[in-house]
Amino acid sequence: MLFDFALYLAVGTVAGLLAGLLGIGGGLLVVAALSFTLPTLGVPAAHVMHVAVATSLASIVLTALASTRAHWRHGSVLPRTLAWLAPGLVAGGWAGAAVASRLPGTALRIGVALFCAFSAWRMAFGTSTAVDQEREPRSPWLLVAGTGIGALSALVGIGGGTLTVPLLVALRARPVRAVGTSAACGLVIALAGAAGYARGGHAARGLPPGSLGYIYLPAALAVALASMRMAPLGVRLAHRLHATQLRRVFAVFLLVVGALIASGR
């Protein structure tokens, strides 16, 4: 148990740094760590991935809140863009959690592994350039995009940064403002998704003490406490450093994580 707690703190530290630096909640790291440790707590195999994804989203609520506050202070959140995205993110996050709660654990495991591979490709080869201007994307199409981002993010337990940041950059928002707005979007997704998993897992049997539906609260709090401390540092680095090399190293890591999750190890 002590080792598990230390692992959650370590994962939360990395997740918080990535949340501030790249606008991603680090959810895939949390899902991977939990998928390895939850069986030792007696979580039935059929529920391991559901609990891992739900707990990841719950931890992202506080991680994204810390990251969003720091980005807001730096003026790197686009409020009007967020307003167009938010309704779709809420609807998609709730729907994604509802669908995932009904999926077999194996299907959810394969889905997360495939998303790891997709995220690795985006991290390694996705464009990170944009027109350097004070552009604030606003369009009804952002409602549609937000629904898709929210649903997929809730399915795999992430804050959606690997989807939101490329979208906003493609719409010519400055990269650092795309990252800041993505953090705020992650907060919306995590709230909707975590609520959906808490409701969807209320009748699940064999979950450990401290569970709220599919959310394992001790792990969620441990990850969140560490990540909240690191997110502001990641934000400061985002305003100072070029993240290309980190993105590529993280891409390799995602491939390894995806392979391990797919194998069930």
Count of structural domains within the chain: 1
Reported pTM: 0.79
Give the separation between CA 184 and CA 189, rounded to whole angstroms.
9
Compute how many other C-beta atoms are within 10 angstroms of the C-beta atom of residue 133: 9
Give the separation between CA 183 and CA 257, rounded to whole angstroms.
23
State residue 130's pLDDT score.
Answer: 44
Chain centroid to CA 143: how far? 19
Q: What is the pLDDT along the chain (265 residues), one digit of tens a residue?
A: 677 788 888 888 887 777 666 656 577 778 888 888 888 888 998 899 999 999 999 998 888 888 888 889 888 899 999 999 999 999 999 998 888 888 887 887 788 778 778 777 876 776 554 444 556 888 888 999 999 999 988 888 877 777 787 788 778 787 778 888 988 998 999 999 999 999 888 888 889 899 999 999 999 999 988 888 887 787 777 667 665 665 666 677 667 767 766 765 5
Q: Residue 236 sits in which domain range? A: 2-263
